[in-house]
Structure 1
Amino acid sequence: MRIFLTHLKAVFLALSKSLNAQPCPDYTEIFVNDFADLLSVSEESDIRAKLRELRNETAIEFTVVTINQMSDYGHYGEIEPFSTGLFNTWGIGDATRNNGVLMLVARYDRKIRIEVGSGYGRSKDASMKSIIDNDILPNFREDNYADGIAEGVSAVIFDLTGSRPGEYGMSGFEKAIATVKRVINNMGEWIFLFLAPFLAIPVKLYRRWQRNKLRN
């Protein structure tokens, strides 16, 4: 009778844990799970390429997840316990190195969290918060979710590895050149607007010289 009661208690305990377990989104793939449809096909493909390269080059598993709201999964509190539960349920990262990364965006909750594995300890808390504040949220406030996610992904990768996507294996000098090129490309037409007043001076002097020079 005692053995029967012990087994019955174990069954009820397991059932209770199952009923109280946090529901999670369905896992679709290892890199990008855009349940909130914040990314176009090409934007999702670009981010996936960065994350696949990161995993191939460094063995760091980084997953991006977007949802509409946490209440869809029965959660009404802060984003931290929800993201931690999702991280653990999906088993993100290497089980021995505990180096996984999760970027979770809850669109209508207006919340975002970057969860890192226990292998990093608390050493990344400040830098992940800085990336959210400086690289992601300014874009989100303008409803530029794709840009915010993409820039956030690149910033996290750089913080973890010291390399930007596509720069693995480069020397310090090569990375510096790549950085300069990236800055120029990002500036785009602004650099011409900035230089326009300075370029106008020699043009005006040349035209004045043309008007005043002796003619045959």
Structure 2
Amino acid sequence: MALFVISVAAPSEYLAHPNGTAVIDEAGILRPAARESLNEILTTFDKNSTNQIMFISLKSLGGYSIEEIGVEQARALGIGQKERDNGVLLLVAPHEHKVRIEVGYGLEGVLTDMRAKRIINNKILPYFRQGDYESGVISGISAIISTIEGGDIKFDPLNANAQQDPSNKDFAIFMVLFAVLLFAILSRRVTRRRVSDEDIISSADIISEIARSSRMRGSPSGDFGGFKGSGGFSGGGFSGGGGSFGGGGASGSW
């Protein structure tokens, strides 16, 4: 009796490979300037909070569900710290029109399934349905950071971008991400202990970068006012710390 073996590719064949940054945009839905700025924000957030967030876009899910790929991808990269399991993955598969927020064990009590679903429905999908992936990603990351840090961003960060030219949109994204990051750093340090001179200097450095970028917003380079990650905001060397995942989070489609 003849035996027929059907070869099915394993999920691992469709996972993104680490590139030393917190942003792996295999589907190419972000412009280079946005990828660079987002990576620097997520790297800095990691250094200041120890929580890790990564963004990944994939060209294909290979016939698997985004839930299957999401948990395997997060585990493969070990997002978050080993002792805390405090990692989050924002995964987008534009070809299949799927998005997933994968949450590590240690953050499931803060970034609950319901909150993750709300972020997808209210902060990400409205932009994705308009074909504006970049704004959806930035809006989603901002909401994830805010939720993890126990805060609430009172404004819709990118609503004013619809009619902006690319250089102005670059500036708006830069401002939104730094506002969220500054909020996260200060709120964490104020609740943990009295703010020290070092904290004030660190925060002042962030504010000065925002001010410098504001003065240079007319720059044609599209690099967020010339911001290149100086002053401790290094874009390289990002890697997971061995965090664990059990399938917590939420998914959506458009």
What amino acid does structure 1 have at the position aligned with 2:120? I
How do 1:136-175 and structure 2 match up within 5 A?
136-162=124-150, 164-167=180-183, 168-169=185-186
**CA displacement, residues 106-131 of structure 1 (integer Å, 9 cap, x when unaligned):** 01110000101111235511111100
Root-mean-square deviation (CA, aligned residues, Å) is 2.1
**Cα separation, 2, equivalents of 1:86 and 1:53:** 22
**CA displacement, residues 132-163 of structure 1 (integer Å, 9 cap, x when unaligned):** 00000000001110000001000000000135
**CA displacement, residues 30-49 of structure 1 (integer Å, 9 cap, x when unaligned):** 41001111111111122112
For residue 22 of structure 1, the aligned residue among 12, 31, 35 is 12
Aligned: 1:129 with 2:121? no
How do 1:86-125 and structure 2 match up within 5 A?
86-121=73-108, 123=110, 124-125=112-113
**CA displacement, residues 153-191 of structure 1 (integer Å, 9 cap, x when unaligned):** 00000000135222221579xxxxxxxxxxxxxxxxxxx
**Cα separation, 2, equivalents of 1:65 and 1:78:** 15
What amino acid does structure 1 have at the position aligned with 2:99? I
Q: Could you tell me how far 1:69 is from its partner in structure 2?
A: 1.6
Q: Could you tell me how far 1:20 is from its partner in structure 2?
A: 4.9
2:29 match: 38
What amino acid does structure 1 have at the position aligned with 2:131? D
Q: Which runs of 5+ in 1 are unaligned?
A: 1-18, 173-216
Cα pair 2:87 2:107 within 8 Å, conserved = no
Question: Which of structure 1's runs of 4+ aligned residues deviate more than 3 A?
Answer: none
Aligned residue-pair number:
151
Query: Structure 2 vs 1, CA of residues 121 and 154 (structure 1 numbering), >3 Å: closer, same or farther?
Result: closer
**Cα separation, 2, equivalents of 1:106 and 1:130:** 19
Find the residue that maps to 1:162 and give its secondary structure. coil
Query: Structure 2 vs 1, CA of residues 21 and 41 (structure 1 numbering), >3 Å: closer, same or farther?
Result: closer
What amino acid does structure 1 have at the position aligned with 2:186? G
**Cα separation, 2, equivalents of 1:91 and 1:41:** 25
- Taking structure 2 as the reference length, what is the TM-score of the superposition? 0.55
- Identical-pair percentage: 28
What amino acid does structure 1 have at the position aligned with 2:12? Q
**Cα separation, 2, equivalents of 1:145 and 1:165:** 21
- Say which is worse superposed, 146-155 or 44-53, in terms of deviation: 44-53
Cα pair 2:16 2:24 within 8 Å, conserved = no
Query: Structure 2 vs 1, CA of residues 28 and 130 (structure 1 numbering), >3 Å: closer, same or farther?
Result: same
Q: Which runs of 5+ in 2 are unaligned?
A: 1-8, 152-179, 192-254
Which structure features the higher share of helix residues? 1
- Taking structure 1 as the reference length, what is the TM-score of the superposition? 0.65
User: Which structure has more RCO (C-alpha within 8 Å, separation ≥ 6)?
Assistant: 2
Aligned: 1:47 with 2:38? yes
Rg comparison, structure with higher value: 1
What amino acid does structure 1 have at the position aligned with 2:125? L
